[in-house]
Chains A and B, each alone.
Chain A
Amino acid sequence: MGLRKLAKRVLGVQRQPTYYLPWLTRPHLQCALVLSNVESRFKVGYNRGSFPVSVVQYDADGAVAGRHEVTLPDAVEAVELPLPSAPGGCGFATVSGERINSDLYVTLSDGLAYTATHGRGEFIERYALPGRLLLAMIGGLLGLAGRAIPAFVRHQYAYVGPDSRSHLLVMNLSNVTNRVRVVASWEGRVLGARLLRLPPMGSTLLDIGTFGSASGGTATEVWRLRLEGAAWFNLYVVGAGARNLEGPLSLMHVK
């Protein structure tokens, strides 16, 4: 048995299959989901009738900000679901419905044009009480030193240019408080480190500008980000243009 499997067993972790999409609202941006079940039309026996869909919107603190019940009239009709703003201005929404696995979109619109990306079919990690207590204790101690339990590690490039940049929306896909350490570096030099404390099911918009600014050249710089967290987390890239977070934004899934 591998170390990861052993740790999962000791901590009592269950992985609950979940489809989720990020959401992000700003005063100048509307966020809406585009829900459909196009995939079902190719599944013989499952391509007729309407399809009920349940959406649960979690705010940045991980609290349920809203529940939405939607009915897709058939296998090809898409339904748009505007998401209201909620505390923190970002988070993720889970979508459940029989045989709904893909092709759901989240869109950000400034009223004139919209950007879009799709959600991900993954899982939420559910830790039993002893596991939650253990992670809270160890994570709290390491947090005092600005560290996190590196059970999950992701690498992501961030882009910082004279008139554009990429930020991150980091989502805690677990029911434990997840400390995620983010280290940014460029050309072998560490630019800075941040320790994010994400409540269960919570999220945060990580402004890349908090690690520093571009060196002032005309070329877009490519920074390395290393993220390590105690429990399962994922991220979406948030693209910005010349007006940075005050302008229109894009979201993009990553593997």
Chain B
Amino acid sequence: MRHFCKHILAASLMLVFVAKSGFGQELSFSQYESYTITLDQLSLDDLVFEGPIVTGGGLYEVELPQAKALMVTGVNYLDAFVQIEADGELLLEGNAACSGDPSCSIPFNLQAAYANRGENNLGDSQYIPVVNNFSNARFPILGRLQNAPGPPPPPPTLDFDQSLVNENAYLYLYGTIDVGNVDAGYYQGTITVTIYYEQADV
């Protein structure tokens, strides 16, 4: 009987532990465990500020028509969350030691937009507010135009084929640099774009 009680106690502790770490036991209506979302670059080019860019030349701009384009593919009736984070400056040869050094760093101001009418069409694009080169945006993967929202979709089953409800949305990245009296050379920085369905998990 003493052994039996000992195991009952151990079993109770184990159940508590397993319940806390067992993801399969959770049910959350705001999460989309079985849906996929992908992000692809439409071209492998960098976001390049085209020359000639001259020392002390001031403001240079990549405008929306020349923007770096990304394609989001996901379920057309879901919203995509996008987090965009960019370096605040381009550094000479990407050298981190140049950060904050006005002789070898160039301030970079990111701008962004998205299009969600199913086509890579700049005419459909809508501005994404970016503050201090950081943005958290949310938009439907397929824009709902002026239509009223439809009925909620049926929950996915084992027969669910996401390719049948996939749609493409597009992200555009562009911006300005302000070139002061910096050393001539190749300057670079990075933009990190994260795409997901559910904000709380990032």
Do A and B assemble together? no
Chain A residues with a Cβ under 8 A of chain B: none
Chain B residues with a Cβ under 8 A of chain A: none
